[in-house]
């Protein structure tokens, strides 16, 4: 991060908030001409500070507004079992995010489905088919209070 200056951080903040900004719009916001801003953005991409650009979708409108955090405990702690779990979870569409965590559980899943009936089907037919799972604990989201879809930099 030593190679980033205030202009770079400002560009990152602006793009994180609105990835559709043009180079010209970015240049105006950071008080530089378009050419150096273009070069800075390309450098930030090449050096991995910007991984990808994405649209933030409305889960409610797309019939995936029921969010559940599901904690998963594996049956045994073994490298191959853990790898099998990760590979199977990556293939399940309803799992939006998956984190390997510490504590009483091994993984935390963010699951996005239509409703409780869809979640029940997900648990029985998708999670239930993952042999490495020992137990789960579900927490249902009542309201999303804050989600900045990014990093505070």
What the block records as the tokens of 128 is 């239930």
Structure confidence by residue, pLDDT tens digits, 116-147: 999 999 999 999 999 999 999 999 999 999 99
6-46 and 66-140, same CATH topology: no
Name residues whose C-beta falls within 8 Å of residue 139's C-beta, 6 or more positions apart in sequence.
Answer: 68, 69, 70, 71
Percentage, residues of the chain above pLDDT 90: 93
- Residue 149: the pLDDT is 86
Ordered by start, the domain boundaries in the chain are 6-46, 66-140
pTM of the entire structure?
0.88
* pLDDT at site 150: 86
Return the CATH number of the domain spanning residue range 66-140: 3.30.70.920
Contact 59, 21 (CB under 8 A): no
The pLDDT tens digits for 65-74 are 999 999 999 9
Residue 95 has a pLDDT of 98
Check whether domain 6-46 has CATH 2.60.40.10, yes or no: no
């Amino acid at each position: 991060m030593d190679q980033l200056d205030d202009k770079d951080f400002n560009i990152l903040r602006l793009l994180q908030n609105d990835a559709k900004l043009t180079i010209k719009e970015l240049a105006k916001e950071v008080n530089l001409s378009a050419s150096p801003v273009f070069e800075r953005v390309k450098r930030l991409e090449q050096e991995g500070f910007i991984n990808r650009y994405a649209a933030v979708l409305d889960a409610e409108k797309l019939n995936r507004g029921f969010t559940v955090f599901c904690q998963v405990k594996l049956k045994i702690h073994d490298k191959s079992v853990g790898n099998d779990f990760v590979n199977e979870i990556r293939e399940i569409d309803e799992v939006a995010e998956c984190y390997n965590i510490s504590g009483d559980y091994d993984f935390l899943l963010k699951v996005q489905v239509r409703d409780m009936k869809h979640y029940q089907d997900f648990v029985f037919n998708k999670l239930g088919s993952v042999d490495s799972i020992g137990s789960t604990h579900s927490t249902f989201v009542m309201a999303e209070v804050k989600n900045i879809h990014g990093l505070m930099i």
